[in-house]
Structure 1
C-alpha cells in the first residue's frame, strides 16, 4: 500500500494501478453489489465481506447509473482548503493510472483499455478504447462546514473520495464493467466478475423495516424559537435569508440495507440524483435522493439551477394544481427563490464568458413541489469541476445570504453538526469534468441506525408553524425508502 500524507490531505493507493474495461449485459445495482461482494469474500478467504469495503452509487435521469465497489485508492482532506487538496491529490492519482497503463499495455484515453471477448471466449486486452462513460471516476463528497465531526459524523473527514476497485455503469443503451487495481490481477478480476454478473439473479423485493426508537434533535417548540431568532436578525437587516435544518435519529429492527433504500428512491424519484457514498471508514453510508444539482461540467459547458421555495402535493389533481399555483404566486417564496437565482448568477459571473438564466417553473416530486430555475454557463477558460464546486458551495438554497452571516447563524442556532448534509456529493474524472449535487433529502446509516436530515429556508414573512410542517415533508423520501 502506497501512501502520501500532508498536513491537511491524505491519499492511499495500491501500486501499480491498471485499468481494464469490458461491456456486459445490463443488470441491477443490487445484483452488481451481490456479485462483487461474493467475489471479494472468495478473494479474502473469509466467510464474510472484508471490513470497511466502500460502496458508492450515483444515478441521474439523464445519464443512467454508476455503482462502485471496493477501493483502489482513497483521497481525504480536512480544513477550509479541502477542495483544493482533493483536486491536487486526484491529479496525482489519475496521472499514475495513465503512467501505469502506458507501461503495461495499450490504454485508451485516461489510461483505460477495453477487454473484448474473442470468438473462443478468451479475452484480448490489446484492442479498442473504452467509451467515456466507462472511464475511471473518483466518487465522494465534502462536508458542509470544515471540522464538523460530531454525532454520526464522528471520525469522518471533511472530504473523502474513492477510486473504486470495480465500477459498473448502466445507461439506456449499454452497460460496462471497469476494474482498477494491481496490473497483475486486474484483468482476471474483471473477467471473473463479468462471469458472475452473467449468471446473477436479480434480488427480490426488499422487506419493510420497523422503527424501534426515534429521537428528534429539535422539538417543535425549539424550532419555533430558532425561526423567531432568525427572523429577528432578518428584520434587523443582518440577514436576508438563512436555511435552518434539523435531524431525526431512528433505530430500526434490522440493519439498514442501503441498496434496498436506493432501489426504492430510484423508483419513486426518477428525476432526482440518487446517491450513496462512504463518508469514512467502517460500514457507514451517506445516501439520499436530492432534486438539487450543484453543478455539472463537461469541457467549458456548465449546468446548474436554483431550487428554492416549496409546498406539498395535493391529494387530487385539482388540489395539486391549486398548491402549485399558490407556490408560484407566493411573495415569500418568490423572494426566497429570486435570492438564490441572483446569488448563483453572481457566483458564475467571475468564471463564465456567458450565463443564461432559464424560465422559472414548478417542479413536482413525489411529496413536494419546488420553484426551479435552470441556469447554464459557458466558461471563459478551462476549469476543474471542483473549482466550480468550491465557488458555488454553499448556495443560498442551503446556506443563506449574506453567506458569512448565514453560516454564523447556522452554527449558533442548529443543535447538531451538518456533516455532509446539504454539502456537495458526486464524481469527477481525469479530465476535470464531473457532476455534483447538493446532498439534501438524505441520511447517514450505520448498522441499524439512521440519522435523517431536513431543512427549510427562512426569509422575511416566514411562519414558524408552516416551516415546521414543510420540514416534516422533507423527511418523507428517506423514511419511505427505509420501508417505514
Structure 2
C-alpha cells in the first residue's frame, strides 16, 4: 500500500460512502451498514494480527490455501440463542443487508462462530463465547489467491460525523504499512487446573459405558471428547499460528478472540462452503496414525480403508450429510467410496460432497441442517447429544462447532473447529474426541485422542520455546 496515496485516494472514498450511509440512516431513522473496500499491495494478514493484538479487541484470523484474512474490531455483533440461533442471525443479517451502502469490489461480510451445544454444560472459561456470535468487523485484511484487499465496515447512525469516521478508518489503513511489532504481554499468570480433566482410566470408563449403550441399541454412534490443560505463559496467539502454519499447511488455521480468551486451532474438516450457489462439503470420519516409513504409511492407510469399523462409522456421516442436504439442494454428488485424507500425524477416511443450493436457502440454513454431523456428535443426533451431556462432564464451548464467514452475496465458508485449544489467562484448554460405534475399544480410542491432541501440544510447546529463547 502506498502511504502517500492514502490521504487523497482512500480518505475520499471512505468519506463519501460514510456520508451516504449517514444520510440514509437519517432518512430511515435507524442505523445503516456502510462497507468500503480497496485493493491493496500484498501483505500477510498474520503480520497484521501480530501488530494489532491487544488482548481485548475481538477478531477472527482465518487461513486456507485459497483465502487468508484477519478481521479486527466489532462494528456490530449478531447473536442468537438456543436452537433458533442460526435463524435469528439470518434474519438480522437480511435486515442489515437490505439498506447497506457499499463501495468497492467486496460485499459486506460477517465472521464468527457458534456454540457446539446450547443445552450442554457451561464453564467459566467459555463465558465470552456466545451461543452464536457473528461480527461485522471494522477492518478486514484479505489475501485471496493473488489478490489483496481491505474491507472497512461501520454501522452508520443518524447525526454522526462522516469526516471524523473516515479519518479514523484512514488511520487504521495507514497503520497496515507499519512493520509488525508485537505488543508486550503481561507477566505469566498462575496455572489453573481444569476441573473437567479426567484421568485415562476415568475417560476409558466413559467410553466403555457409551459403547455398551450402543450395543443395547440406544443410538448408532456417539463422539466423546476430552480436554486437558497446559500452562501457556506469555505466548501470543499469532506465535502459535506461526507454529501451526509450519507444521499443518494442509489444515484450516483459525484464531478467534472474545474478551480475554482466544480460541485457536488447525482444523482438517470443513463443515460447508457456498460459492456462487455451489455447495461444497465432505464427510470426515475414521482415523489412523501416519508413519515416517513410506511402506508402513501406505499399509496403515490401506488398513483404514479396509476397516469395517471405520467404514461403518464413516458411512453414518455420509448418510447423515446426504439426508441434511437433500431438502436444501439439488444435483447432489457423493462418491461411492471414500479417499484418504493424509495429515501431518494422522489420516482419515474422506468423502468429498457437492450440490447446488436451492433458491431461497443460504449457508446458515445449511449450518442448521448439518450441525452437528455424526463426525463430531453422533447418530441419531438427539440421542447422541444426550449421551454427550451425560458422560463428557465438560463444556465443549465452540470446540467441534461451526466457525467461519459469510458475505452479502450468499457466499461463505465454515469449518468444524477441531484440533483446537482455548487460551485464557495463561492457560490452554486442549480438546480432542473420537467416534464410538459398537466395536470400539476404549484403549484404542484414548490413543486416538492423544494423536489428535499432539498437533496443538507441539505447536504450543514450540511457541513457548521460541518465546523463552527471545526473552
TM-score (norm 1): 0.82
Q: Which moved more, 1:445-454 or 1:385-394?
A: 445-454
What are the equivalent positions in structure 2 for 1:58-457 lying under 5 Å apart? Answer: 58-61=62-65, 63-96=66-99, 98=100, 101=101, 111=102, 113-114=103-104, 130=105, 134-148=106-120, 149-181=122-154, 183-201=162-180, 217-254=197-234, 256-278=235-257, 280=258, 282-358=259-335, 359-457=337-435
Query: Equivalents in 1 of 2:436, 2:222: separation in Å?
Result: 5
Query: Equivalents in 1 of 2:345, 2:383: separation in Å?
Result: 31
Give the deviation of 1:444 after TM superposition.
Answer: 1.2
Query: Equivalents in 2 of 1:268, 1:135: separation in Å?
Result: 33
The list of structure 1 runs, each at least 4 consecutive aligned residues, that deviate by more than 4 angstroms after superposition, is 14-17, 34-37, 201-204, 209-216
Q: What SS does the aligned partner of 2:83 have?
A: coil
Does the CA-based 8 Å contact 1:137-1:427 persist in structure 2? yes
Query: Equivalents in 2 of 1:418, 1:221: separation in Å?
Result: 21
Does the CA-based 8 Å contact 2:45-2:142 persist in structure 1? no
Q: What SS does the aligned partner of 1:426 have?
A: strand
Query: Equivalents in 2 of 1:169, 1:434: separation in Å?
Result: 14
Give the deviation of 1:246 after TM superposition.
Answer: 0.4
- Aligned CA distance change for structure 1 residues 201 and 219 (closer, same or farther; 3 Å): closer
Q: What SS does the aligned partner of 1:228 have?
A: helix
Give the deviation of 1:212 after TM superposition.
Answer: 6.2
- Aligned CA distance change for structure 1 residues 212 and 145 (closer, same or farther; 3 Å): closer
One of 443, 455, 465 as aligned partner of 1:465: 443
Give the deviation of 1:467 after TM superposition.
Answer: 0.5
Query: Equivalents in 1 of 2:396, 2:192: separation in Å?
Result: 21
| 1:213-265 alpha-carbon deviations (Å, 9 max, x no partner) | 766712111122111111111111121110000011222232x4111112222
Does the CA-based 8 Å contact 1:441-1:477 persist in structure 2? yes
One of 50, 56, 74 as aligned partner of 2:60: 56
Counting matched residue pairs gives 421
Q: What SS does the aligned partner of 1:436 have?
A: strand
| 1:240-294 alpha-carbon deviations (Å, 9 max, x no partner) | 110000011222232x41111122222322222211223x4x2211121111111
Give the deviation of 1:341 after TM superposition.
Answer: 0.8
Give the deviation of 1:79 after TM superposition.
Answer: 1.4
Alignment partner of 1:29 is 2:45:
yes
Does the CA-based 8 Å contact 2:140-2:151 persist in structure 1? yes
Does the CA-based 8 Å contact 1:384-1:432 persist in structure 2? yes
- Aligned CA distance change for structure 1 residues 89 and 323 (closer, same or farther; 3 Å): same
Does the CA-based 8 Å contact 2:290-2:345 persist in structure 1? yes
Give the deviation of 1:169 after TM superposition.
Answer: 0.2
Give the aligned CA root-mean-square deviation in angstroms. 2.4
TM-score (norm 2): 0.84
- Aligned CA distance change for structure 1 residues 483 and 376 (closer, same or farther; 3 Å): same
Give the deviation of 1:483 after TM superposition.
Answer: 2.8
| 1:175-205 alpha-carbon deviations (Å, 9 max, x no partner) | 111212254345434443333323425879x
Give the deviation of 1:28 after TM superposition.
Answer: 2.2
- Aligned CA distance change for structure 1 residues 36 and 231 (closer, same or farther; 3 Å): closer
Q: What SS does the aligned partner of 1:81 have?
A: helix
Gap regions ≥5 residues in structure 2: 1-29, 157-161, 463-471
Q: What SS does the aligned partner of 1:382 have?
A: coil
Query: Equivalents in 2 of 1:147, 1:76: separation in Å?
Result: 16
Query: Equivalents in 2 of 1:385, 1:54: separation in Å?
Result: 23
Does the CA-based 8 Å contact 2:110-2:406 persist in structure 1? yes
- Aligned CA distance change for structure 1 residues 316 and 380 (closer, same or farther; 3 Å): same
Give the deviation of 1:322 after TM superposition.
Answer: 1.6
Give the deviation of 1:456 after TM superposition.
Answer: 0.2
Query: Equivalents in 1 of 2:442, 2:400: separation in Å?
Result: 21
